[in-house]
Amino acid sequence: MLLSPSVPLVGALCAGFLILHYLVQRLHHYKKAKAWNCEPPRPGPSGFFGIPGFYRLSKAVREKRWIDYLAEQYDVVGRNTFSMQFLNRRMLTTIEPENIKAVLATQFQDFSLGTRHEQFDPLLGDGIFTLDGAGWSHARSLLRPQFTRDQVADLALLDDHIQHLLKLIPKDRSSFDIQRLFFLLTLDSATHFLFGESVGCMNSSETTDVLAKCAVRNAQGFADAFTTAQDYLAARSRAQGLYWLVNPKEFREANRRVHEVVDYYVNMALAKKRNPEKKPEGGRYIFLDALVAETEDPKMLRDNMLNILLAGRDTTASLLSSTFFYLARHPPAWNRLRQEIVEVFGDSKNPREITHTKLKDIPYLRYVLNEGEPYLETVAPIDRSQPPLTVPEVLRLQPPVPVNFRVATKDTSLPVGGGPDGRSPIYVQKGVIVAYSVFAMHRRTDFWGQDATTFRPERWEENGKHGWEYLPFNGGPRICLGQQYALTEASYTVVRLMQHFDTLENADPNPRQEPIKNSNLTMMHDSGVAVRLYSSGGSLNG
């Protein structure tokens, strides 16, 4: 059958219109960029349609080195900001503090989370980590008051879980994976704080009737389902606009199991509000009960509890794991920190009171944590009005949320990165992804010295003042609400362990100084953290 002569003509006209539209748009953006004095950034090694770059990143993910791979690209390109093609999307990636400050704070309204809500919705729903705009503002206003209360860091509650942790540490000086124990500790303490009842990961006799009745069966089943769901969320995030392709049965089942547990606690809290005769034992503060006083929407309660549970478990466990990874490899740092802690708090035989204020008053504890690891906002600078707790060096080297991104909601610009010297503004077209690597920025030698990749807490004695080049808890309006909770829990755990044990040894058969990273939504040590922890006197002080 012959085509009508008009068909090729219509096709040619459509093609011509699309080409003309493309050229008009290019001219429009060119003029806008010139008016803003913008210069293009140096291009990165994307390849044809970004396919080779995507393949190399996928290979690095399989090899569990993609965080390091992304950091290496800044040296490969020779710029702290460069552009890339990521399949069908254009991306800018940066480790310039000025650019990150613009994205997170001073130009906050110009950027959004992009498709993160769709990517994370199956597990986290409508929560503080997934929403933009009015939805995010509402979620933050709902949660923020709960993190200003003294009860947020309940040291007495935490100590109960520390006692269980101590019982799981081998008494025969044998090696063990302390990261596994830290993830049990933080899941128990986080669920206790949030729900008023621990899931009992560290004490099987405490496994709740709730879990026994649910599909997860026990605390380990709940932890496994939660971790599996997060692994798939990370894969959906890396897939960007193709996130919907990552939706296997295992992912859906893990989400269902996690939701079943949290829904039970939500329904219990709602019933308690409607029947207020039964008060919590001792009148202790329970996060979920406080939230129920603000809203009775079951889905809103579940979604926000899951968002906080994710941050409360994973980031603190990541920080503690990295702290002991580095301390086990640097005995002088362990010895100095333990000496300062015992001088202030005593040891397990002669303990003295541990308070929030005293935790903040041990400088070397701050230096150690800062040198090790961080996690993931009113347009305001980072709040440095309060003395930090002990996380600087660990949070610097192994931030729990090492890489993040935003998407431009309008045509805008970034302050630096363009032109021959990389100091001119960059034009950012609506829809462009702006990725930033806190991990790589924390290792820049121009900020941190030639030993930037080395664990050396003393650098914070030499220069403890840093701005946007140190960003373990994000910044601007979305700065982490729970950072004081996380730092208090980490600090208290370090103190209590050092009171009981005077010797920490690295038990990793591979004496690596840089851990293999397993990063889903937060970063952890892929091979765990193998150590020996004991009292050199021959018997434990506990």
- Residues making up the binding site for heme: 480
Residues found in the chain:
542
Tokens of 465: 């003042």
CA distance 419 to 3: 51
- Residues annotated as binding site? 480
CA distance 150 to 158: 14
What separation in angstroms does the CA of 419 have from each of 99, 369, 376?
15, 38, 31
Going 359 to 526 to 63 to 230, the CA torsion angle's sign is negative
CA distance 542 to 540: 5
Q: What's at 127, amino acid-wise? A: G
What separation in angstroms does the CA of 246 have from each of 115, 238, 329?
14, 10, 39
CA distance 258 to 224: 10
User: Which helix (H) or strand (E) element contains residue 84?
Assistant: strand 81-86
Which 8-state DSSP code applies to residue 506?
E
Residues with Cβ < 8 Å from 435, sequence gap 6 or more? 91, 92, 93, 94, 403, 404, 405
Q: Which of 313, 316, 324 is nearest to 487 (CA)?
A: 316
φ, ψ dihedrals at 321, nearest 5°: -60, -45
φ, ψ dihedrals at 522, nearest 5°: -130, 165
Strand-pair partners of 505: 532
Q: What's at 125, amino acid-wise? A: G
Please state whether beta strands 424-428 and 89-94 pair in parallel, antiparallel, or not at all (unpaired): unpaired
CA distance 247 to 119: 10
User: Which helix (H) or strand (E) element contains residue 525?
Assistant: strand 523-525
Residue 477 buriedness (CB in 10 A; 0-12 / 13-18 / 19+): middle
User: Which residue is it, tokens 């939230």?
Assistant: 291
